[in-house]
Structure 1
Amino acid sequence: MPHSGVATFYDSNGSGACSYDPSPDPLTAAMNTADYEGSKACGAYVLVRAANGASLTVRITNLCPAPCKAGQLDLSAEAFARLAAPSQGQIPVTWTLASPELSKKISIRYKTGSSQYWCAIQVIDHRNPVARLEVQSGGQFKQLSRADYNYFLSESGSGCGGAIAVTDIHGQRLVVDPLPVKPDVTQATGLQFAAH
C-alpha cells in the first residue's frame, strides 16, 4: 500500500533510534512516529518516489520525532539530493515497502550487558521488516517483546543463547541455530528472507 507524505532531510551519520552501527551506505531515512510503530520499521527498505519521477530505495535506521507528520520521511542528505535539489527543503513523495536483492545475510547481535540471565537480541540486515522474534526455552519457542530501540527483550533470561526464530511481516519464519551470548558481537546466520 503506497503512503503519501513529504520528504525532508537531516545530517545522518547512519546510526539512530534503531540502534544500528553507523552504515557505509548513505541512503538511509528516519521514519515518522506513526509508521515507526515502536521500532517495527527499523531495517525496512522503502522505495521513495518524488513527483519529478526520481526514485530510490532507502533503509530505515532512525525515528523522525514531532513535528514529523504521518507519512513523512526524513532522508539522509545524500538520499534527498538524489530526488531533488537540497534548496527545496521538502518535497512531496509517495513510498512503499521494498524487498530488494541483498548480498548480506541476516545477523544477530546481543546487547551490551546480555548474559544467560537477561538478554536483548537485535536482528540486522534483514530484507523484509521483522514482525516477531522468539527464543527456544525448555523445548518451546517463546515470543519476546520489542523495545522501541529495536531490541527484543528476554528479561527473565529464558532462551538466552538458545535457538532464535525470526518472522517477517509476510509470515516467513527463519530458525537460527543457537548462538553464544556475546554482547556487542554481530554474528552471521547464513539465512535471509525471500523477496516479496
Structure 2
Amino acid sequence: MRAASACFGFQEQGTMTAAASDVFWNGGAACGKRLAVTCTGATNQGVPQPCTGRSVTVKIVDYCPAGCRGTIDLSQEAFAAIANPDAGKILVEYHEYGLRSKSGWLEGKRTCVLLVISSIRWI
C-alpha cells in the first residue's frame, strides 16, 4: 500500500521526489515545485567525497515535519543519483524551474543555497 503525501494524496508522483521542511514548505506553496539539485560536498568525515557529479530534478510532493534534519528530504532514488547513499546527509545547490516574472517564465533561476539532505524514506 502506497503512503499518502501531503501534496498529492495517493496519486503516484514517480521516484524523483522530495519533501520540504518548514524552511521551504511555506504553508504548502512548495507543493509541485520542481528543483534541479546537485551535490556540492560532504557534511562529515564519513564519506569525504560523496558526490556523483550528476544533478537530478525532483518534485516537491510532501511535507517533512519538525525534526526534519534538512531543508529538503530527497527520496532514496534521487539521493542515490547525486551522492553515495552511505553519506546520509550532503550539501547541495539547487535551482527552481518555472518561476514566473512579469515578462514570462524564468527557466532555471539559480538560488545558490547549500542545504543538508537526508535519504530517509518518507513515502
TM-score (norm 2): 0.64
Return the letter of the residue paired with 1:73: I
1:37 is paired with a residue of what secondary structure? Answer: helix
**CA–CA distance in 2 between the matches of 1:63 and 1:97?**
17
- Give the superposition deviation at 1:75: 0.7
Equivalent position of 1:35 in the other structure: 24
The alignment covers a number of residue pairs equal to 95
Match of 2:56 in 1: 56
- Contact 1:15/1:61, CA 8 A, preserved across alignment: no
Amino acid paired to 1:77? Q
Could you say what secondary structure the match of 1:67 adopts?
coil
8 Å contact from structure 1 (residues 17, 62) kept in 2: yes
Q: Secondary structure at the match of 1:57?
A: strand
Structure 1: which 5+ runs fail to align? 1-12, 100-127, 129-168, 173-192
**Greater RCO, 1 or 2 (C-alpha within 8 Å, sep 6+):** 2
Secondary structure class of the residue paired with 1:36: helix
Q: Would the aligned equivalents of 1:33 and 1:64 in 2 still touch at CA under 8 Å?
A: yes
Q: Within 5 Å, give how 1:6-155 maps onto structure 2.
A: 15-23=4-12, 25-51=14-40, 52=51, 53-68=53-68, 72-99=71-98
What is the Cα-based RMSD across aligned positions, in Å?
Answer: 2.6
AA of the residue aligned to 2:96: L
* Residue aligned with 1:18, SS: coil
Question: Which one has a larger percent helix, Structure 1 or Structure 2?
Answer: 2
Secondary structure, counterpart of 1:34 in structure 2: helix
- Counterpart of 1:105 in structure 2 is none
Runs (5+) with no aligned partner, structure 2: 41-50, 108-123
Shift of 1:77: 0.8
Q: Which has the larger radius of gyration?
A: 1
Contact 1:49 1:93 in 2 (8 A): yes
- Measure, in 1, the Cα distance between the counterparts of 2:12 and 2:105: 23
CA distance in 1, matches of 2:66, 2:92: 19
| One-letter amino acid matched to 1:86 | P
User: After TM superposition, where is structure 1 displaced by more than 4 Å over at least 4 residues in a row?
Assistant: none
Query: What is the TM-score with the length of structure 1 in the denominator?
Result: 0.42
